[in-house]
Amino acid sequence: MTKEVKNEFRVKFRGVRGSYPCANRKFLQYGGNTSCVEVNVGGHLIILDAGTGLINLGNELLRDHIMSGSHLMERTPIEATMLLSHIHQDHIIGFTFFAPNHISTSKINVFGTTNYNESLADELAQLLFTKSFPIDLGDIAANLNICDINDTECIILRHGSEPIVKSIVDLNDEDFCINPDDVVITSYKSYAHPQEGVTVYKISFKGKSLVYATDKETYFGGDKKLANFARGCDLLIHDSQYITEDYLNPHSPKQGFGHSTFDMALESQDSCHAQKVIFYHYDPSYDDEKLNTIAKLYGDVADKADFSYEGMEINLI
């Protein structure tokens, strides 16, 4: 692994659409795939959500895997850590079609939260496999590890080790310390999205941090929990499904749907003092023309906000 790869913190948007994918030529500029963000950080691959944007990422990983050697066991195995914000279908629909899942040498660790009565593995098995896919979850060829996490735990990615899940209070234990090359992932559960809430993630590496806050509605007066969690982050990827006029439309209001407006995303950026906010998870009715019109309205904040699109890359280091 090169020094450049070990020190990189690169973010690439694979799917930026909410609710359902849009296969239409009017959606080519920003993209029609649902939520998926690729993060290459410190030599680790982290995938945020498994919407339809995951499929193209998986195909590219498969191509690179095949090119790395003549025979299966000679090839560089695909390893990834996947973080699911929640299990609504637009965020998991690409999972069964993720090509590395069907390669025996792949190592995929999936983390997320559900309710207190069922495990994430059970939920995914029921939603994606048993009655809606030709194979069961247990038939996946990859070394697939699905884990539940909660607000009190963090995930540490360290070279030469499986992901380490530690209680946050144990990080101060004298027998354990964070290494300079470790990637640290923390999270919290927000209930500003029906029906069982959504997990907000923070990825930290070498003094830089990314916060992924999709599918959350901003409370009246701001979201104080997000403000504290994301304080001082370098990049805030924030739900921006609606313009304010649609959110407050008297005939078809969107309040309570669990999504924010572009203005709410900017409000969250201000409250947590994020260096930059990325608008994300666009309503599927917002085609390229509509989003370009919205972008012109927010041209005066271009120095601190940007519109996500498929293929967009941001380097934090």
Q: What is the 3-state secondary structure (H, E, C) of the chain?
A: CCHHHHCCEEEEEEECECCCCCCCHHHCCCCCCECEEEEEECCEEEEECCCCHHHHHHHHHHHHHHHCCCCHHHCCCCEEEEECCCCCHHHCCCHHHCHHHHCCCCEEEEEECCCCCCCHHHHHHHHHHHCCCCCCHHHCCCEEEEEECCCCEEEEECCCCCCEEEEHHHHHCCCCCCCCCCEEEEEEEECCCCCCCEEEEEEEECCEEEEEECCCCCCCCCCHHHHHHCCCCCEEEEECCECHHHHCCCCCCCCCCCCCEHHHHHHHHHHHCCCCEEEECECCCCCHHHHHHHHHHCHHHCCCEEECCCCCEEECC
Give the number of other Cβ atoms within 10 Å of residue 178's Cβ: 14
Distance CA 252, CA 249 (A): 5
Distance CA 214, CA 193 (A): 10
Instruction: Check residue 219 and give its pLDDT.
Output: 82
Instruction: Check residue 93 and give its pLDDT.
Output: 97
Per residue in 58-81, pLDDT (tens digit) is 999 999 999 999 998 899 999 999
Among the ranges given (1-5, 245-249, 264-268, 288-292), the one the predictor scored with the smallest mean pLDDT: 1-5
Instruction: Check residue 72 and give its pLDDT.
Output: 87
Distance CA 158, CA 31 (A): 33
Instruction: Check residue 231 and give its pLDDT.
Output: 98
Q: What is the CA 72 to chain-centroid distance, rounded?
A: 29
CA distances from 251 to 216, 244, 247, 254, 256 (A): 22, 14, 10, 10, 15
% of residues, the chain, pLDDT over 70: 98
- Amino acid in position 36: C
Cα three-residue angle 272-276-279, rounded to 5 degrees: 100
In this prediction, residues 85-101 reach a mean pLDDT of 97
In this prediction, residues 96-124 reach a mean pLDDT of 93
Per residue in 182-237, pLDDT (tens digit) is 999 999 999 989 888 999 999 999 999 999 999 999 987 889 999 999 999 999 99
Q: Which residue, chain included where needed, has tokens 């195909």? A: 59
Distance CA 7, CA 42 (A): 5
Instruction: Check residue 196 and give its pLDDT.
Output: 87
Q: Does position 122 have pLDDT exceeding 80, yes or no?
A: yes
Residues in contact with 75: Cβ distance below 8 Å, sequence separation at least 6, in sequence order = 65, 66, 68, 69, 105
Q: Does position 306 have pLDDT exceeding 70, yes or no?
A: yes
For residue 112 the two structure tokens come to: 């997320």
For residue 56 the two structure tokens come to: 């193209």
Instruction: Check residue 117 and give its pLDDT.
Output: 78
Residues in contact with 212: Cβ distance below 8 Å, sequence separation at least 6, in sequence order = 37, 48, 83, 85, 200, 201, 202, 203, 237
Instruction: Check residue 6 and give its pLDDT.
Output: 83
Q: What is the CA 33 to chain-centroid distance, rounded?
A: 13
